[in-house]
Copies of this chain bind each other. A is one copy, B any other.
């Protein structure tokens, strides 16, 4: 790890992180060499990766592997990243959703189904990028605080790479999420406290363990870039074209801002025509600080105490909240929030129209799209993409008691016939 702590005159600091050249603070644009740091010492704002892309051609991407490493020339990862053991997420389905479109009153709808990733959520994308960058920085342990999807993705990626992992979870976490993390055999530690306690512990440990990469703490600037691949894939799958409207769930807000960043990069690089697009944000009403700020026209996001079944979105103090507001306002989008009842109806609507079973976060996205259409904010004529970022198998509690067999019958054909003719 010592290499990462030295100072050099080169902005690239001796690391091969592909096109990444330095870190820039989001508020005042202070520049600093690439390093495992996440907050600017100058203005205390988050650090973001800046690039010198050079020339990137569609053909290079199309000739690449069928996973996110096809976009390696647009990511902060080593030039030979696809040769190093890691997970290979991405290239998930973009599904033409005519039946859902009809139910929602849209003309032209697509669903980006990220449940096909290795651990069935978009977190595999960000973790794979974090792991690739962390290795280059000399880290040896992959770590995170998490309540679910991230825990799965970190434990799985570390296992695949042959690294140790340290995953901190609240001890109250549902048994299913514990099992699906523990099976990868890293160091899973349950903490008697809530997610805030776990998160605080992670920040403390990140400061003292110099060979631990906490994916969403000390290597967060690299990690978060992984979400750009959602935008790249949507554009490539549409035939190198940007959709007019995207609906994106908001937790920390990072994903939404990175989807925007990815779309802008594609236009700037001439990989697509830089056509206008609008980005819409989706929250659960039980944790809707960004939606509340948008509604009241504020540019400051007031923290809340989450209370929603959409736990993977339940971040009461979203780090990228203000930047989400910037993106949504700049692109002419909107933000809306939906009740837990609407979330469940969103899950069920997507399942019964398109055969895609999403977790609560996807229910938030579908239900928010519905609300935005009804409010006249989403244009029903415009081509629209919904980002479905996680899997229903991980949040079965949400539909427990809501769906079930139509009937339970004795084992004879008459009984089945009677049910079907009801």
Contact = CB atoms under 8 A, between A and B. Distances in A.
A88 B98 contact: no
Interface of A: 66-67, 85, 87-88, 91, 93, 95, 98-99, 113, 115-120, 155-162, 166, 168-169, 171, 175-176, 178-180, 182-185, 187-193, 197-198, 200-201, 204-205, 208, 347-348, 351-357, 391-394, 396, 399-400, 403-413, 416, 419-420
B179 A400 contact: yes
Contacts of A182: 399, 403-405
B393 A178 contact: no
Contacts of A183: 347-348, 351-352, 357, 392, 399, 403
Contacts of A113: 118
Nearest to A401: B179
Among A116, A156, A166, residue most surrounded by chain B Cβ atoms (within 10 Å): A116
B175 A400 contact: yes
Contact of A394 (B87, B168, B179, B393): B393
A198 B404 contact: no
Contacts of A353: 159-160
Q: How many copies does the complex hold?
A: 2
A91 B67 CA distance: 11
5 contacts: A159-B355, A189-B407, A189-B419, A193-B410, A204-B413
Contacts of A91: 66
Contacts of A393: 120, 176, 180, 391, 393-394
Contacts of A410: 191-193
A304 B113 CA distance: 41
Contact of A357 (B156, B157, B391): B156
Given A93-B118, A116-B117, 19 more contacts: A66-B91, A87-B355, A118-B355, A157-B355, A159-B352, A176-B393, A179-B403, A182-B403, A183-B351, A188-B405, A188-B406, A189-B405, A189-B416, A191-B411, A192-B410, A200-B411, A201-B411, A201-B413, A208-B413
A396 B176 CA distance: 7
A236 to B, nearest CB: 11
B118 A404 contact: no
Nearest to A411: B193
Contacts of A412: 201
A116 B120 CA distance: 8
A116 B114 CA distance: 10
Nearest to A93: B88
Nearest to A154: B355
Contacts of A348: 183, 185
A99 B58 CA distance: 34
Given A168-B416, A176-B396, A190 B157 contact: no
